Amino acid sequence: MKKLLLGLLICSVAFADESQITLKDGPGKDVAVGNCQSCHSLDYIPMNSKFQDHKGWEATINKMMKAMGASIRQEDVPIIVDYLTQQYGK
């Protein structure tokens, strides 16, 4: 129940002003944006990019799914991880 409430709280503040956040173009961008933006602002991606490599992005996506309850389809995980690694990996 706590995870559900936390997820709802995160999602309720996620859409503050997404029009100003533009991610880099690349394969998988639409899948990443669609999944990530459904729960939080996209500014988290470039903000955290200096810390993340492929393994880091993969761990982050898995944490979002398991700990935060993000409903990301398993087949979308490698697409999102590859996009984030290519465009925002260290």
pLDDT tens for 54-79 read: 999 999 999 999 999 999 999 999 99
In whole angstroms, give the CA distance from residue 30 to residue 28. Answer: 6
Torsion of CA 87, 31, 37, 56, to 10 degrees: -50
Give the chain's mean pLDDT. Answer: 85
Q: Which pLDDT belongs to residue 49?
A: 86
Output the six-digit token pair for 37. Answer: 């933006």
The answer to whether residues 36 and 60 touch, using CB atoms and an 8 Å cutoff, is no
Q: pTM here?
A: 0.76
Cα end-to-end span (Å), the chain: 36
Residue 90 has pLDDT above 70, yes or no: yes
- Higher-pLDDT residue of 90 and 12 is 90
Which amino acid is present at 87? Q
Instruction: Answer whether residue 17 shows pLDDT above 70.
Output: no
Please give the CATH topology (third level) of the domain spanning 2-16+27-88.
Cytochrome Bc1 Complex; Chain D, domain 2 (1.10.760)
Compute the average pLDDT of residues 13-19: 50
CB neighbours of 80 closer than 8 A, spacing ≥ 6? 28, 31, 32, 35, 36, 57, 61, 72
Please report, for the chain, the start and end positions of each structural domain, with discontinuous segments joined by +. Answer: 2-16+27-88
How far apart (Å, rounded) are the C-alpha atoms in residues 26 and 28? 6
Q: Say if residue 45's pLDDT is above 60.
A: yes
